């Protein structure tokens, strides 16, 4: 069960360096064909400083640098009943391989549907580079209590 | 050695004046989504939820089999968008996950221009975006906001 007292809770700041290999594996998994997403030389030839992270990669950074303070356990979330309900990505600056980024996550909302059979949890993660906001991600997950 | 496709390096700049509400982007087809693809995406995305790669776990959770990460379909929508315009022009990108994409499903990403505005010199498009499987079932719906720079 979700505890509404968790609304407003913030994670610790997490630092992560965007790894070339991670971006290349991600590009392979989504069958990316544009080499600016997996080849340093191609990215530079196209005017980028390094391999460009694709539009949804910010969500991967959330998962690659998980919060200890806002762990699923601490929020009462069980993987078995968990589904992704919504994701909104607001981009302000591109993310490149080699970037050293800081992530901060906050519990934004919790609500129920179907008399509590479905519980929704909304969390927002902001990604900063040297104090500048580069991306904000708002994700909603849903837990089906009958299988949790 | 990776061969560099010069077409992929330089997208044609969008001509805002030639775009209209109702116009469709070139769709992108993906799949069928194999178990191997799901394993690659598990490692590549950092989403290690076993429900996408471990059938024993998925069955214990009440599913018949593993199923695809919702964010994999969102990444396919992202590829469709960046095939059409430079990524820096994509300002917001949001989806609602409405149905599960099963392993071995084929996914088609598509988009339609639903709004076009020009204010204070900023040329803005709103796209309705969606993914469907081979049965026609809608799996993701959402929207994206594109700011089109003036042609040089």
Task: Tell whether the model's pLDDT for residue B7 goes beyond 80.
Answer: no
Confidence (pLDDT) at B4: 42
* CB atoms closer than 10 angstroms to residue B81: 24
Least CB–CB distance from B93: residue in A82, A85, A89: A89
Which residue of chain B is at minimal alpha-carbon distance from A19? B44
CB contact B134 to A (< 8 Å): no
Confidence (pLDDT) at B1: 39
Confidence (pLDDT) at A74: 87
Cβ-Cβ pairs closer than 8 A, A with B, add up to 138
Q: What average pLDDT does the segment B132-141 reach?
A: 98
Predicted confidence band at B118 (pLDDT cuts at 50, 70, 90)? very high
Output b/e per residue, A7-20; b: 16+ Cβ within 10 A: eebebeebebebee
Select from A17, A20, A28, A29 the residue whose CB has the most chain B CBs within 10 Å, as the one to mutate to test that interface.
A29
Domains along chain A with CATH numbers: 4-144 (3.10.129.10)
Low-confidence residues of chain A: pLDDT under 70: 146-148
How much of chain B, in percent, has pLDDT values that exceed 70?
A: 93
Domains along chain B with CATH numbers: 20-148 (3.10.129.10)
How much of chain B, in percent, has pLDDT values that exceed 90?
A: 89
Predicted confidence band at B6 (pLDDT cuts at 50, 70, 90)? very low
**Which positions in chain B touch A88 (Cβ < 8 Å)?**
92-95
Question: Which CA distances in Å does B48 have to A34, B38, B40, B52?
Answer: 26, 10, 11, 8
pLDDT in tens, B73-117: 999 999 999 999 999 999 999 999 999 999 999 999 999 999 999
């Amino acid at each position: 069960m979700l505890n509404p007292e968790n609304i407003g809770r913030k994670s610790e700041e997490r630092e992560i360096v965007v790894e070339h290999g991670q971006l290349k594996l991600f590009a392979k998994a989504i069958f990316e064909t544009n080499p600016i997403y997996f080849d340093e030389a191609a990215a530079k030839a196209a005017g980028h400083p390094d391999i460009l992270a694709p539009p949804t990669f910010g969500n991967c950074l959330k998962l690659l640098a998980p919060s200890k303070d806002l762990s699923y356990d601490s929020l009462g979330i069980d993987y078995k009943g968990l589904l992704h309900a919504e994701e909104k990505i607001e981009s302000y600056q591109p993310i490149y391989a080699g970037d050293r980024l800081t992530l901060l996550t906050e519990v934004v909302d919790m609500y129920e549907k179907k008399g509590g059979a479905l519980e929704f949890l909304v969390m927002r993660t902001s990604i900063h580079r040297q104090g500048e906001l580069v991306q904000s991600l708002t994700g909603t997950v849903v837990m089906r209590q009958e299988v949790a | 050695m990776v061969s560099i496709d010069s077409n992929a390096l330089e997208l044609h700049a969008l001509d805002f004046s030639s775009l209209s509400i109702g116009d469709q982007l070139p769709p992108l087809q993906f799949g069928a989504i194999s178990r191997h693809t799901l394993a690659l995406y598990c490692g590549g995305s950092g989403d290690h939820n076993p429900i996408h790669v471990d059938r024993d776990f998925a069955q214990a959770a009440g599913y018949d089999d593993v199923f695809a990460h919702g964010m994999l379909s969102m990444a396919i929508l992202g590829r469709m968008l960046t095939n059409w315009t430079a990524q820096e022009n994509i300002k917001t990108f949001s989806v609602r996950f409405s149905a599960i994409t099963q392993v071995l499903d084929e996914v088609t990403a598509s988009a339609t221009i639903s709004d076009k505005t020009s204010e204070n010199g900023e040329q803005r498009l709103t796209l309705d975006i969606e993914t469907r499987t081979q049965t026609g079932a809608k799996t993701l719906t959402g929207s994206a906001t594109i700011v089109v720079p003036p042609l040089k």
